[in-house]
Amino acid sequence: MYFVHCQSSHFNKSVTKIQSQLNTAMEINQEVSNLKASLQARKNEGFLGIETKRKLNELEKDGDVTKQQVNHFVDNAVLFYATCIEYIETWDHSDDVSKLTSALLTKTPTWSEVEAANDMVCITAGRSSATDDNRLFDQTTCVARYATAETIERWMQSGTDTSQRWLEVFEHFKNQQLEFDAILCLVHFQE
pLDDT in tens, 100-135: 778 888 899 999 889 888 887 776 655 555 467 888
* Residues 112, 116: Cα–Cα separation, whole Å: 6
* Residues 16, 12: Cα–Cα separation, whole Å: 6
pLDDT in tens, 9-44: 888 888 887 776 556 667 777 788 889 999 999 999
pTM: 0.60
**Can you say how many angstroms the Cα of residue 159 is from the centroid of all Cα atoms in its chain?**
16
21, 22, 26, 85 from 167: Cα distances, Å: 18, 17, 17, 36
Residue 66 makes CB contacts below 8 A (sequence gap 6+) with 60
* Residues 135, 162: Cα–Cα separation, whole Å: 23
What is the model's pLDDT at position 21? 55
Q: What is the mean pLDDT of residues 168-182?
A: 91
* Residues 125, 133: Cα–Cα separation, whole Å: 17
* Residues 114, 171: Cα–Cα separation, whole Å: 20
What is the model's pLDDT at position 20? 64
